[in-house]
C-alpha cells in the first residue's frame, strides 16, 4: 500500500503540469481517475512513438506523466456525463484541473458547486496566472504554457551565455515546478482536513511558481537594485562553480569552498594559486584569470581523467547525456528507470521513476498509462455499488 492509498483523486488535467502533479500522487498510492474530455487528453497523440503512431495508443509524452492512472471519458455538456461526474465528486477526496480560469464555471462545475456535493472536497487548480479566489489580476483568463511562464518569471533572462539571448531552460520547469508545488499544496490541504474537517481550494499559478524558482534573482534585485542577467554556467557569488571543456566533452567543478579550492590547485600542481588567492573574496575578484587557468588545465584531459583526478576530494561530475544516464549503475540501483508496457507494440519502454524514496511505503509507478476510457465500467460501476448512506 502506498502512503496515499486512502485518497481518491479526480484528475481533469491535460498536457504536462496537471498530469505531472497527479502522477506524483499516483506514484505515492493515490487512486487517480483521469477524466478526459471527448477525444482525450490533447497530448495523447504527441510523439515520440516506438514504431507506428497509427497502431500505438499514445506517445512517450503521455505515457511518462500518466502512468498508474485510470481513465474515463466524459462530456460535461452532456447531462448524463455531468451527473456521473458529480456522483464521483461525492466520493472523491481531491479534484485537480488546469483549465483557464472560468472554464469549469461554464458547466456549473466550479469549486462552489462541487463543494455543495462534497463539503470535504479539496479542489485544486493549476493556471498560468492563478485563480481570482486567491488574488485577482488582469492576466487571469489568458492562456499560458511553460515558455510563457519562464519568460515572465525571469527564468529566461538569467539563463544562457552572457553574450547570448535569453534562453529557455530545457525541461519544462514552468509546468513541472508548478505541478510539484501544487502537489505539496494538496497534501497540506489533506493534512488540514484531517485536523479540522474542512475542505478548501488550492491554487498554484505558473507565473507565481517561477518567481519562487528564481528566488536568488528576486533578492538580488531587492538588495542591489540591479537586475541580474545571464552568466552562462557560472555563479554570481561563488567561484569556481562552472562547467569546463575537456578534451572530449565537459565537466562541472564546484570548488568555491577554500578546502575544495586547495584540492583543485593541488591536482593542477598550482599551489601558488592557492596561496595567492586564499579566500573567497580574492577568488571572486580575479575569477576571469582563475577560470582561464582552470580551463587550460581541464582542456588537456579527458572527462574521465579529470573526474578521476578530483572525485572524492572536490565536487565534480561529467556533463552526461541520456545515453550516459541509461548506462549509469547508480540510476538503476535507485530504480530511476522504470519499464512499462507500450500498447500497440510488443516492446517495453522506460520512463523516469519516482525520486521520492520512503522506507515503509515506497512510491512506484503503477504500470502504464491508461487507454482512453479504459476504466469506464470499472469506475462508474464502483459508484453504482456504493450505498447511498455510505
Strand 250-254 to 241-245 pairing? antiparallel
Cell (9 digits) for 182: 501544487
22: helix, strand or coil: helix
Choice among 11, 93, 131, 175 that is catalytic? 175
User: Angle CA(349)–CA(354)–CA(359) in degrees, nearest 5?
Assistant: 130
Radius of gyration of the chain (CA): 25
31: helix, strand or coil: strand
Residue 343 contacts residue 71 (beta carbons within 8 Å): no
CA distance 74 to 78: 8
Is 79 an active-site residue?
no
| Residue 53 burial by Cβ neighbours in a 10 Å radius (0-12, 13-18, 19+) | middle
233: helix, strand or coil: coil
Q: Which residues are catalytic?
A: 175
Amino acid at each position: 500500500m502506498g502512503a496515499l492509498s486512502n485518497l481518491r483523486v479526480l484528475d481533469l488535467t491535460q498536457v504536462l503540469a496537471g498530469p505531472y502533479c497527479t502522477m506524483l500522487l499516483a506514484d505515492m498510492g493515490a487512486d487517480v481517475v483521469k477524466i478526459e474530455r471527448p477525444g482525450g487528453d490533447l497530448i495523447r497523440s504527441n510523439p515520440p512513438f516506438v514504431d507506428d503512431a497509427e497502431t500505438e495508443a499514445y506517445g512517450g509524452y503521455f505515457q511518462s506523466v500518466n502512468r498508474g492512472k485510470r481513465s474515463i471519458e466524459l462530456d460535461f455538456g452532456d447531462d448524463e456525463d455531468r451527473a456521473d461526474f458529480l456522483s464521483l465528486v461525492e466520493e472523491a477526496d481531491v479534484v485537480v484541473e488546469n483549465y483557464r480560469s472560468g472554464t469549469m464555471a461554464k458547466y456549473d462545475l466550479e469549486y462552489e458547486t462541487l463543494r455543495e456535493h462534497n463539503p470535504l472536497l479539496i479542489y485544486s487548480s493549476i493556471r498560468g496566472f492563478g485563480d481570482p479566489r486567491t488574488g485577482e489580476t488582469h492576466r487571469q483568463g489568458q492562456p499560458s504554457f511553460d515558455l510563457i511562464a519562464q519568460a515572465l518569471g525571469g527564468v529566461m533572462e538569467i539563463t544562457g551565455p552572457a553574450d547570448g539571448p535569453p534562453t529557455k531552460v530545457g525541461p519544462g520547469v514552468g509546468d513541472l515546478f508548478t505541478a510539484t508545488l501544487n502537489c505539496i499544496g494538496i497534501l497540506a490541504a489533506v493534512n488540514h482536513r484531517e485536523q479540522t474537517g474542512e475542505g478548501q481550494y488550492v491554487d498554484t499559478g505558473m507565473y507565481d511558481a517561477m518567481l519562487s524558482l528564481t528566488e536568488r534573482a528576486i533578492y538580488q534585485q531587492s538588495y542591489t537594485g540591479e537586475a541580474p542577467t545571464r552568466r552562462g554556467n557560472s555563479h554570481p557569488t561563488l567561484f569556481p562553480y562552472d562547467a569546463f571543456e575537456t578534451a572530449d566533452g565537459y565537466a562541472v567543478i564546484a570548488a568555491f569552498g577554500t578546502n575544495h579550492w586547495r584540492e583543485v590547485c593541488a591536482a593542477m600542481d598550482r599551489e601558488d594559486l592557492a596561496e595567492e588567492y586564499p579566500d573567497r573574496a580574492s577568488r571572486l575578484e580575479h575569477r576571469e584569470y582563475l577560470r582561464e587557468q582552470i580551463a587550460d588545465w581541464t582542456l588537456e584531459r579527458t572527462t574521465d581523467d579529470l573526474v578521476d583526478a578530483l572525485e572524492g576530494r572536490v565536487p565534480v561530475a561529467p556533463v552526461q547525456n541520456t545515453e550516459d544516464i541509461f548506462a549509469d549503475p547508480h540510476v538503476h540501483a535507485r530504480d530511476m528507470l522504470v519499464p512499462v508496457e507500450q500498447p500497440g507494440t510488443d516492446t517495453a519502454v522506460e520512463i523516469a521513476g519516482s525520486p521520492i524514496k520512503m522506507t515503509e511505503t515506497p512510491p512506484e509507478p503503477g504500470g502504464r498509462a491508461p487507454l482512453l476510457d479504459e476504466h469506464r465500467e470499472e469506475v462508474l460501476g464502483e459508484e453504482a455499488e456504493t450505498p447511498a448512506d455510505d
